[in-house]
Amino acid sequence: MNLLRRSAAALLAGALAGAVHAQAYPTKAIRIVVPVATGGIADYYSRLIGARLSDAWGQPVVVENRAGGGGNIGADVVAKAPPDGYTLVMGFVGSHAVNQFLFARMPYDTMRDFAPVAMVIEAEGILAVHPSVPVNSVQELIALARARPGGLSYASGGVGTASHLAGELFKSMTRTFMVHIPYRGNAPAIADLIGGQTQLTFATLPTAIPHVRAGKLKGIAVIGNARSAAAPQLPTIAESGVPGFAVNNWIGLFAPAGTPAEIVRKWNAEVMRIMRLPEVTRRMEVEGERHTPNTPEQFAQFVRDEADKWGKVVKAAGLKAE
């Protein structure tokens, strides 16, 4: 009985300590690591959330870009950070669902080393080509790629990103060969595509659509499973003769494993609040993004489901990190 009392007292003391810690948190600067280059959606929403959290919590929130390794370099920084709520990563489909199947060796364990905090957005994607590429439809692109094996290159935001997976899935499903050119984020990939260094990309719609509207790129199709309100004139790749094709990108916040649950919930509640702000919802409507309210537990299950789905795709296609 004494042992039971002591155990109960220890549990109660731990819970009270965690609650007190969460109430005091934060007491110093916070860091959000972005594992890709500046200019993409992960960078944009990290800065948007960081600025509003700084206003709400009265502490600076610093955004640090640590690109490279398909997201592994930046994610590993957070995997090995103290689990105190002061260092988080804006992870994405590559860093937290795909890379574990692409890379022969990983610096962290995706499921063991992180505490999922909040899904931020899912972003629709677009197949866009340089204006000099003589195609205006998916079928014309397929015909050109088959006529010129290896003569077309596609830019991606990096190994394991949704833009990389979309390109590899497209090649596999259409029996075409195009050269993959990985960048450290969608923004530099788009910049080189506009400059003519590559011929096409499967980019996030928010990153590419301003350049399509400006005539610097040609939009051919959207890469999700439905047409986008941000570009309603574009068909899906699936309805353009590649049935079953669908890829969506997502970003979300992760803390190191062992971060107190009270702090994780505090972050989640603030992210949910920020994503409901009118100016944020307006941006999402225009840019082809969506936010679904979620709990840390729901986000964790989503990540597990994504890993299961993409693990099968990567293995079936025989994809390996370059």
Question: What pLDDT, in 10s, does the model give residues 121-169?
Answer: 998 999 999 999 999 999 999 999 999 999 999 999 888 888 998 998 8
- Do residues 277 and 184 share a domain? no
- Is residue 185, in this structure, part of any structural domain at all? yes
Across the range 39-48, mean pLDDT stands at 94
- Do residues 39 and 177 share a domain? no
Close Cβ partners of 214 (under 8 Å, ≥ 6 residues apart): none
- Is residue 131, in this structure, part of any structural domain at all? yes
> Nearest-CA neighbor of 78 among 117, 49, 39, 41?
117
pLDDT at 185 over 80: yes
Share of the chain above pLDDT 90, in %: 76
pLDDT at 318: 80
User: What does the angle CA 168 – CA 173 – CA 176 come to, to the nearest 5 degrees?
Assistant: 70
Across the range 166-176, mean pLDDT stands at 93
- Is residue 322, in this structure, part of any structural domain at all? no
Of the three residues 240, 260, 279, the one that is the final residue of a domain is 240
At 32, which amino acid appears? Answer: I
- Do residues 195 and 104 share a domain? no
End-to-end C-alpha distance for the chain, whole angstroms: 60
> Are 90 and 32 within 8 A, CB to CB?
yes
> Nearest-CA neighbor of 119 among 37, 14, 45?
45
CA 196 to chain centre: 26
- Is residue 1, in this structure, part of any structural domain at all? no
245-304 pLDDT, tens digit each: 988 889 999 999 999 999 999 999 999 999 999 999 999 988 889 999 999 999 999 999
Across the range 15-31, mean pLDDT stands at 74
- Do residues 147 and 203 share a domain? yes
- Do residues 114 and 151 share a domain? no
Structural domain boundaries enclosing 102: 28-122+249-317
User: Which CATH number belongs to the domain containing residue 184 in this structure?
Assistant: 3.40.190.10
Of the three residues 240, 259, 280, the one that is the final residue of a domain is 240
pLDDT at 22 over 70: no
Pairwise CA distance, residues 78 & 155, whole Å: 27
- Is residue 5, in this structure, part of any structural domain at all? no
Across the range 83-89, mean pLDDT stands at 98
Of the three residues 240, 263, 283, the one that is the final residue of a domain is 240
pLDDT at 244 over 80: yes
Tally of domains in the chain? 2
> Are 147 and 206 within 8 A, CB to CB?
no
Using CA atoms, how far residue 108 sits from 85, 250, 256, in Å, is 18, 20, 11
- Is residue 4, in this structure, part of any structural domain at all? no
- Do residues 113 and 141 share a domain? no
pLDDT at 1: 47
Across the range 222-251, mean pLDDT stands at 93
- Do residues 113 and 175 share a domain? no
- Do residues 141 and 236 share a domain? yes
- Do residues 118 and 88 share a domain? yes
This model's pTM is above 0.85: no
User: Which CATH number belongs to the domain containing residue 303 in this structure?
Assistant: 3.40.190.150
- Do residues 58 and 153 share a domain? no
- Do residues 171 and 184 share a domain? yes
> Nearest-CA neighbor of 87 among 24, 34, 15?
34
- Is residue 23, in this structure, part of any structural domain at all? no
- Do residues 129 and 86 share a domain? no
The mean of the pLDDT values for the chain is: 92
Q: Could you tell me which residue, 272 or 320, shows the higher pLDDT?
A: 272
